[in-house]
Structures are given as C-alpha cells and as structure tokens.
Amino acid sequence: MAAASPPPLLLRLLTLALALAGATAGKISGPRTPISRDIYHSSDSLLREIKALVARHSDKLSMDTIRTSNKGYSVELFVVTFNHLKENMDNGSKVHILLSFGQHGRELITSEVALHLLYILTEKPKIAGVDLSSFEKLLENLVIKVVPMENMNGRKRVEEGELCDRRNGRGVDLNRNWSVDWGMKEKDYDPYEENPGIAPFSEPEAQIMRELSRSFKPHIWVNVHSGMEALFMPYDHKNTTPNGASAHLMRSVLENLNRRHFQDSCLVGSGGGSVGYLAHGTTTDYMYDIAKVPMPFTFEIYGDEKASTDDCFKMFNPVDKKTFDRVINKWCMAFLILFEEGLRNLRDAQIVSQVTLENWVPIGGDIVERNVERKSSRDTRKLEGLDLGMQELRTYFRLFLLSTFLLMFMFCTRISKNRNRDSGNLFDP
C-alpha cells in the first residue's frame, strides 16, 4: 500500500520553512572587525585635540562651532579656518579651499586625515621625514576651511556599534540630500543606504554646508570619502564630465596630482562614469552646477577590496597602524600637492576673485548659534534663527510688489491715454 502524501497545507509550510532556512544561511556573515580604538580617535577626543591645536596656533587657526536644531533633530558642526597670515586682509588674491571630511559616519579614516593635515599646516611640517618648508610660501596664498566631521551624529552611531551606517542621526544619506538631480533612483537603489531625505536640504548638516559654500565662495572643494582610491570630478549623477575650459582645468589638476604623487595608480574621471553606479543629489555636483565652484572634487582615500561587505570597518578604514600611517601620510601630501596645482592653474586661468570671508550665517534650523573659539577678544555671539528659505521668500515678495506696481502703472497710463483720446474726439470738427 502506498504511503499517504502529506496534506497540501503541511507541504507548503515545510517548503516555506526550508526556504527561510536557506535564506538565513545565505545571510550568515563572517566576523566583523571592531574599531581599532588604539589608533583611531573617538569623535570627542578628536574634537578636543583640534580645539587644543587651535588654541596653540591662534595666529593661524580659528574655529567656528555651528549648532542648529530642526524639528527636534540637533546638529553640531565645527569649521576650522587656516589663514597663514591672519593679520593680512584677504583682497581677493588668495585661493579659497573648502575641505569636508566624515560626511559618511563609517569612514573614520577621513577625519583622521583632517586632524593630521591641520597638524602639518601648523606645527608638524614633515610627512614621513620629508621636509615641507618649501610649502610655506604656498600657504601664504591660501585660506583653507576644514570641516573635520561633517556628520557628527552619524559618527557617534558608528562608535556605538552601527559599523555599517553611513547616514546621519535620523537616517538620511547627506551625500544624497543636495538639490542637483535630487530624489532620482537607480535600479539598484538601496533605500537604507541612500535615503535622500524628504526634500533637498531637509537635513541641517546639508543646510549649514550650503551656506558655508555661499559665504566662503571656495575656488576648490574636496569631499573626502573612503571605499576605494580615486580622484573624482563631476558628474556623479550622469556618466559624463562637464564640457569646456572648466572641465579641462579640473582634469589637468587631477591628472597632474595622479602622476606626481600616485604614479598614475588612482582612478581619475567623473564619479558617475568611474564608480560603476550613478549617485543623485550629491554635494560635488551641487558645488559645480549651482555654487559654481571652479574645481569641485571627490577624493576616495582608502578601500579594502578583500573585506567582506558585512565587515564595514575593515572595508572603509585601515585596521593596522602601519597601513593607517601610510594612508595618512600619502593623502596629507596629496592635499599639499593639490593646493600647489590648484593655485597655479587658477592663477593661470585668472579665476581668483574677490570674496567675503566673515559674517556668514547658516540658514535652515529652528535655532542657529555660532560660537567663535579664538584667543582674540571676540566674544561668543548668538545669531538669530532663520526659517529655511526665508531669504528666497523675501526676494519673491519684492519681485511680486515690483511687478504689481508696474502693472498698475501700465493700467493707469492706458486709462489716461483713452480718456485723452475721447476728450479730443468731442472737439474734432
């Protein structure tokens, strides 16, 4: 007698259980490398060290602390300014450089490069035994603003154990929150990793960085990331580079840097054409298309291709002291060469222009506070909070009033002409 077959419902349950077991087995990840606390600073200790450095070198460094709050989400952002001769007025001849590190929380190595670069600019003018005194004259021609940890809240989540998290404190990818091609999604779009936010500039971090770019008007912008080694120029959201003289200028700087320092080992080109995927709403594309920065770049400074995709700390950061030091030294020197190449090319192209350095006001939070930590007599000042878009609304209102006045003027003029014509007709023979 043949054995009875299992009921259909039981068969379906067994099939589902086997499928779930297989899926779970496929997702079992290997060991995850923890943060190398012996060689990496915590966000708090890194900040303390930067503050101490600023205090020791108040003749060259100053630091702004910007705190904003938006719908219950609070952000703190630090901007360190290097000006080799602070007593000299910037008459427009200096090149303005804006560097952002740590936009993605899991990329700790980028903020370490920021710290060491500040040391090199002030009290440790050597890299791996190489004397950098020849760069002193170069630095007199630059004003450099460094944002060591753009995504402080996201960084703290990583330090608490979320080693794969690149987003900010409320789950938004800050490098997808800018307005150029915002919200577009590719077929491989990952809503967890690439959440662009509810609108362009919905995040306070992006709002502050936008206002900083508007007020400082950089000639060179670098967004520093890790995950591979590359020197990128726009665009990220399409598989092409810009046309014309500006594109030639950017490519020339990157190719010279790659040849001089990396022996042509770095990937050079557009982010969208080189990485293998398109990214929409990125900072660098905004800096080029909207802010009109002559040289906006994205640098990828490290990546472990052999690391498991689940082992995020190892994938994005060196885990041993020898590799850590090599990456730090290599990319600090790369920035110095970038400064040299950028200055020469900008002056050859006669791009350096007048800009305003002081009194910039970040817009977009419910509360905006600016603390200027300097050794001079300037006191801490509180800035009035401004609603997002208030300046734009005022502009539109003025235009509306102007257009209304013009329409009324035209209407009254037309009526006056008609009345004069009618009066003339009464006395015609």
**Residues with catalytic annotation?**
300
> Could you give the C-alpha distances from 264 to 63, 219, 253, 297, in angstroms and in order?
36, 25, 13, 17
Reference 207, options 63, 30, 366, 358; nearest CA is 366
Residue 280: φ, ψ to 5°: -115, 140
**Rounded-to-integer distance, Cα 390 and Cα 397, Å:** 10
Q: What is the DSSP letter of 276?
A: S
Structure tokens at 423: 């009066």
Question: Whose structure tokens read 């040289």?
Answer: 295
**Using CA atoms, how far apart are residues 221 and 147, in angstroms rounded to an integer?**
11
Q: Can you tell me the distance from the alpha carbon of 138 to that of 122, in angstroms, rounded to the nearest whole number?
A: 14
Coil, strand or helix at 356: coil
Query: Of how many residues is the chain composed?
Result: 429
What is the phi-psi region of residue 53: left when phi exceeds 0, alpha when psi lies from -120 to 50, beta otherwise?
alpha
Give the integer Cα–Cα distance in Å for 24 and 26: 5
Nearest to 53 by CA among 78, 88, 85: 78
Strand order in the sheet with 228-233: 267-270, 228-233, 295-302, 220-225, 95-101, 142-147, 73-83, 61-70, 367-373, 381-382
Q: From 286, 325, 283, 280, select the one nearest 302 (Cα to Cα).
A: 325
Q: What 8-state DSSP symbol labels residue 35?
A: P
Please tell me the distance from the alpha carbon of residue 355 to that of residue 217, in angstroms, as a whole number.
7
Torsion of CA 404, 410, 412, 415, to 10 degrees: -140
Question: What Rg value do the Cα atoms of the chain yield, rounded?
Answer: 27
Residue 148 in tokens: 């060591």
